[in-house]
Structure 1
Amino acid sequence: MVSELINANPVVYEKKERRDRGSRAVLDEYAAEPIDQLEIFDHIRDIKDPEHPYSLEELKVITEDAVDVDDQRSYVRVTFTPTVEHCSMATVIGLCLRVKLMRSLPSRYKVDIRVAPGSHATEAAVNKQLNDKERVAAALENPNLVDMVDECLAPSYA
């Protein structure tokens, strides 16, 4: 956790109940399994905020409606909304989203992480950082940053 909080008193929302995705019979073990909006949301909903002990879902940083999936084109876009306009953790949050999806999805997927339009003072710069492969690779070579990301991605048993 960060010592000086940017948003000391965030609004905390109730988590949505998890929906049953139903049984997914495997007819061909080599066929690509379709991925949908709910599956992506389930992958990212429990990521912890870098500053608070709450999930990104509880802070409404991410919502199911902010996930777009085009399974035919192997494309996923997640648009997140920082809790404050000057959130210094926006890039870290976006990196957490990217890393979680990199670890969870087949490599055929292109993942696009975006800050919601008008929700952050440096929206264009954050979007550029989060979608530049070289910058993401460089960030993931920083052990302190990787530790922070791993902490945010660690399962919560509370």
Structure 2
Amino acid sequence: MREGKGKQALALSIKMVSGLINANPVVYEKKERRVRSAPANVDEYAVEPIDQLEIFDHLRDIKDPEHPYSLEELKVISEDAIEVDDSNSYVRITFTPTVEHCSMATIIGLCLRVKLMRSLPSRYKVDIRIAPGSHATEAAVNKQLNDKERVAAALENPNLVEMVDECLAPTYGFSN
């Protein structure tokens, strides 16, 4: 019966709160996108290594669930907070909520996980973490975001899936 527990536990941590949690977030300028170039004589069927920049490019435009800004613009994620061990197919993302009592931390983490599930080969293990000391319930959120059953249960909830899909919808390079 763990599935029911997982559904309940993740759903409990994603409470809808009336009003903004962080009414005036600090908005930072986006970094200029770096163009990735591949040598012309590379085998088109060869496996290309995945690096920190590629992961950051996948995540940088995810929209914040509460504000019309990207996670990069709010400095929720940064290139420096991404670890990649391509030889062991491992990625760790450490994100920093804008306030320590952010009720959207779990949904942000779920967005990061879903984006990488959709973008990376299935052999990758993805670890999503809140930056140490940046959230009041850091340990509980980290546990939820890295529990396969709880994540699967959350993705069965149509309201959560809709919220995640809205955050992941392309903006074509423009903030609202």
Do these two structures clear the TM 0.5 threshold for a shared fold by scoring above it? Answer: yes
- Which structure 1 segments of 5+ residues have no match? none
| CA 24–138 in structure 1, closer or farther in 2 if over 3 Å, else same | farther
- Which structure 2 segments of 5+ residues have no match? 1-15
Aligned with 1:72 (options 72, 81, 87) = 87
- The whole-number CA distance in structure 2 between the counterparts of 1:144 and 1:24 is 44
Q: Deviations over 1:70-127 (max 9, x none)?
A: 0000000000000000000000000000000000000010000000000000000000
1:7 maps to 2:22: yes
Q: Aligned partner of 1:21: which letter?
A: R
1:117 maps to 2:132: yes
Max Rg structure: 2
Higher relative contact order (Cα pairs below 8 Å, separated by 6+ residues): 2
| CA 20–28 in structure 1, closer or farther in 2 if over 3 Å, else same | closer
1:27 maps to 2:43: yes
1:4: how far off? 1.2
- The whole-number CA distance in structure 2 between the counterparts of 1:137 and 1:145 is 11
Q: Deviations over 1:5-60 (max 9, x none)?
A: 1000000000000001112554151x322000000000000000000000000000
Aligned residues: 157
Q: Which runs of 4+ in 1 moved over 6 A?
A: none
Equivalent residues in 2 for 1:136-155, closer than 5 Å: 136-155=151-170
Identity %, equivalent residues: 87
TM-score by length of 1: 0.96
Q: Tell me the equivalent position of 1:89.
A: 104
**Larger deviation, residues 14-23 vs 87-96:** 14-23
